[in-house]
Structure 1
Amino acid sequence: MSTFSIHHITSYEYDRAVTESVNEIRIFPYQCAEQEVLQHDLIISGQPDLHIFTDYWGNRAGLFNLNASHTELVIESRLLVRAKAPAERPLNFNTGLDALEGEVPDNILLVDLGRPEKISNQAAIDEIVQQIFQPWKSVAAIVQDCCQFIYRHFTYIKGITDIETTVDEIIDHRSGVCQDFAHLMLQVLRTMQIPSRYVSGYICPNKNGLRGEGATHAWVEAWIPGFGWAGIDPTNNIWVSNTHIKLAVGRNFKDCSPVKGTFKGPAHQKMFVYVSVGYEDGHHFEEKSLVKLPDTFDQQVLLQESDLRAMQQ
C-alpha cells in the first residue's frame, strides 16, 4: 500500500467585482475499497456553506453559493490518501460476452453505460471494432485489446485538443491527451455493448514515468462479468493499479468536472490550476497552469469546466 499527499488548487481572478457565484464541485475522493482517505481538508474563499450530496453516479459532490462581492475565488483541496489496490489486480479473463449478456439487462445503470453516443463518424469506430473484436475472446481480453489499439494508433500530444473536442475530431486528429483517449475508448467499448464509464482522478508518482504523472488524469472503467468495474488507462496502456487515485465517475467528462458554475457580473476572468502529488519518501510532482477562458460581458457568465482539462496531460 502507498500513501499520497495531493494538493489541488483552482483559482479564478476577476478584473472587477462579481457576485452570486454558484458552483458545483467534485473534488472529493471516490468511496471504494481500493483507496482509503486518511485526511481531506477543503478551503473555499469566503467560507460559504457547503451542501454535500451524492449524485446519480455515486460521486460525492458539493454545492455552494458565494453571494458577496468578490474579485477572487479559490478552491483548495488537501488530500492524504492510501492506495489499497494491489500493484497488479487479478482479473477474470474467462468470462465472455454471453456472461455479460446475462448481467446487463437487469441493471439499468449498466444498460445506460453500454449505449454509444451518436457521432458523425461512427463508421471509423466500427472499423476499429472490426480490428479488435473476436466473439470467442473474454470481455477482459477485448477491453485490453481496445486499450492497446488506442495506445498504438493515436499519438499523445498536448494542446492539440480542448475541453469541447468531440470523438469525431479525435478520430480526425488521431491524437490528443488522456481525456480524448478515454472518450474514444468509451465509444469503442459501448459500440461493442460493453458497459464502461469515464473516471477522473490523479496518477501518482512511480518509477515507470507514466504519462500524466503528478497531474489530474482520466481513464476508463469497463464492466467485467464476474468481477465488476475494472480500470484501464489507454493513455499508458495499463490496467489501473495502486498509482491511480479516483475522484469521480460518469458517462463522460461533464459528469466528473471538478468545478463548474455561474456568476453575475461583466468581468474578465483568469483561471489558474495547481496540482502537487507527493509520495511517502518526499518525492513529488507539481504543475501549475494558466487556463485561457473566453471573455464575456453577459450578466450570467459561465465558469468554464476547464479545471480537469487544464491539468489532464
Structure 2
Amino acid sequence: MRTFFIKHVTKFSYSNTVIDGANLIRLHPINDEYQKVISHFISVTNNPYVETFNDFYNNRVGTFLITEPHDELTITSDVEVIIYDKIFPEDTVDATTQWEELKTKKYDADIIDFVKPAPFSGSEEVLNLINSKNLATKTPYKVVLELCDYVYNNFKYTKGVTNVDSTLDEVWELKAGVCQDFTNILLQMVRMAGIPARYVSGYICPAEDNTRGLGATHAWIEAYIPFYGWFGVDPTNNAIANGNHVRLAVGRSYADCSPVKGVFKRKVESDLFVNVEISSTKTKEAIEVPPNTFTGSKTNNSYQRNLDRIQHQQQQVQQNQQQQQ
C-alpha cells in the first residue's frame, strides 16, 4: 500500500481570445479495490461548473463550458490516492485451456471492444514474430510479458519525435517515441496474438531514478488473462503495472482516455503546457505555470521534421560507410 499526492497542471495559451470553450476531461482517478481516492479537487480558469458522468467504459468524465472571452485555459487537478498491490496471475492452468477460455470470452460485452487490432504497416512482421516464437504454445500471461519485452528492447524512448496524432505506421517505421507510442504498438501486438487488451492512461509514480514517463500523464496496457482478469504491463519501462501506477481511464485507444480535449470558437493557434508533480508526502513544490506569451512552439514538435532529420543522419552514416569501403 502506498499513498501518492499528485498535482497535474494543463495550460492552453491562445494567440488571441476565444469564446464558447467546451471541454471534456478525464482527470478523475479510477476508484476501486486496488485504488482508493482519498481526495480530489479540480480548478479551472474562470471557475466554471464541472459536471461529471460515467462514460461507456465506466471512466469518470468531467465537462465544462467557458462562454466569456479568454486567451488562456488552465486546468489543475490535485489528487490524494492510495494504491494497493495486486496479486499477479498464478498461471498454473495449462496453455491450451487458457487459449480455449479466451475464445469463449472474446464476445463478452466487457471484452468485445478490446479484441480487434488496427491494421498497420508492421502487421505482417508482427504475425511472423508471433509465429516464430511459437507463442500459441505459451500461456497468455507469458505471451504478454514477452511482447512487452520486445517493444521495450526494439523501440527507442525519444521525446519530441512523435505527437498525439502520430499514426501506428509512423511509430513502427521510426521505432521510437514515448509512452503513448510504446502502448499503441504493444496494444496491437497483444490483440494480434489473440489476447484482448485495452489502453490505460494515468500516472507513473517514481520507483527508481530511471523511470520513464515522469512529469506528464503516462500510458500502458491491460491484457485480459483467463481465470485472472485484467493485467497491466508497462512497455515503456518493461514492468508490470502495479503499486506505482495510478489509473485515470481505460478504453479502446488513446481517444477513449485523453485527459483533456475540447473545442472553442475563433480561429487561433495555441501552445500547450503540461506538468505533473508526484510526491509521497503532502508537501509538494509549487508548479510554476508560464504566463501567456504565445510563441507557437507546438510547431517545434513536428514528427515530419524530426523524421527528416533522422533520415538525413542515416544517409550521412551510410555515405561515410561507403567512403570508408
Q: Larger C-alpha radius of gyration, 1 or 2?
A: 2
- Pairwise CA distance, 1:28: 0.6
- Pairwise CA distance, 1:276: 0.6
- Contact kept in structure 1, 2:12 and 2:273, CA below 8 Å: yes
**Across the two proteins, how many residue pairs are aligned to each other?**
291
Question: Is structure 2 residue 265 aligned with structure 1 residue 267?
Answer: no
Q: Deviations over 1:72-95 (max 9, x none)?
A: 211110011111125xx3213234
Question: Is structure 2 residue 251 aligned with structure 1 residue 253?
Answer: no
- Pairwise CA distance, 1:193: 1.9
Distance (whole Å) between structure 2 residues aligned to residue 43 and residue 52 of structure 1: 14
After TM superposition, list the pairs within 5 Å mapping 1:3-82 onto structure 2: 3-82=3-82
- Pairwise CA distance, 1:238: 1.1
The one-letter amino acid of 2:128's match is E
**1:297: which partner in 2?**
none
After TM superposition, list the pairs within 5 Å mapping 1:131-170 onto structure 2: 131-170=132-171
The one-letter amino acid of 1:231's match is G
- Pairwise CA distance, 1:126: 1.4
Compared CA separation, residues 11 and 183, structure 1 to 2 (3 A) = same
- Contact kept in structure 2, 1:4 and 1:279, CA below 8 Å: yes
- Contact kept in structure 2, 1:54 and 1:60, CA below 8 Å: yes
- Contact kept in structure 2, 1:277 and 1:286, CA below 8 Å: no
- Contact kept in structure 2, 1:132 and 1:142, CA below 8 Å: no
Return the match for 1:94 from 92, 95, 107: 92
Structure 2 unaligned blocks of 5 or more: 300-325
- Contact kept in structure 2, 1:9 and 1:274, CA below 8 Å: yes
- Pairwise CA distance, 1:45: 1.2
- Pairwise CA distance, 1:138: 1.1
The one-letter amino acid of 1:32's match is D
Q: Which region of structure 1 is more displaced relative to structure 2, 177-186 or 48-57?
A: 48-57
Structure 1 unaligned blocks of 5 or more: 295-313
The one-letter amino acid of 1:74's match is T
**1:192: which partner in 2?**
193
Distance (whole Å) between structure 2 residues aligned to residue 119 and residue 125 of structure 1: 10
- Pairwise CA distance, 1:116: 0.6
- Contact kept in structure 2, 1:124 and 1:171, CA below 8 Å: no
The one-letter amino acid of 2:103's match is E
- Pairwise CA distance, 1:291: 8.4
After TM superposition, the score normalised by the length of structure 2 is: 0.83
**1:125: which partner in 2?**
126
Q: Which secondary structure does the structure 2 equivalent of 1:135 belong to?
A: helix
Distance (whole Å) between structure 2 residues aligned to residue 229 and residue 265 of structure 1: 43
- Contact kept in structure 2, 1:39 and 1:80, CA below 8 Å: yes
**2:111: which partner in 1?**
110
**2:184: which partner in 1?**
183
Q: Which secondary structure does the structure 1 equivalent of 2:126 belong to?
A: helix
The one-letter amino acid of 2:91's match is F
- Pairwise CA distance, 1:167: 1.5
The one-letter amino acid of 1:20's match is D
Q: Deviations over 1:255-302 (max 9, x none)?
A: 1111111111233322211211112396889898998446xxxxxxxx
The one-letter amino acid of 1:29's match is P
Greater fraction strand: 1
The one-letter amino acid of 1:94's match is T
Distance (whole Å) between structure 2 residues aligned to residue 202 and residue 83 of structure 1: 12
Q: Which secondary structure does the structure 1 equivalent of 2:195 belong to?
A: coil
Compared CA separation, residues 277 and 37, structure 1 to 2 (3 A) = same
- Pairwise CA distance, 1:207: 3.1
The one-letter amino acid of 2:106's match is V
Question: Is structure 2 residue 234 aligned with structure 1 residue 218?
Answer: no
Q: Deviations over 1:193-231 (max 9, x none)?
A: 210001111100123632113432110000011111010
Distance (whole Å) between structure 1 residues aligned to residue 40 and residue 254 of structure 2: 23
The one-letter amino acid of 2:237's match is N
Distance (whole Å) between structure 1 residues aligned to residue 161 and residue 44 of structure 2: 32
- Pairwise CA distance, 1:133: 4.2
**1:201: which partner in 2?**
202
Distance (whole Å) between structure 2 residues aligned to residue 203 and residue 10 of structure 1: 17
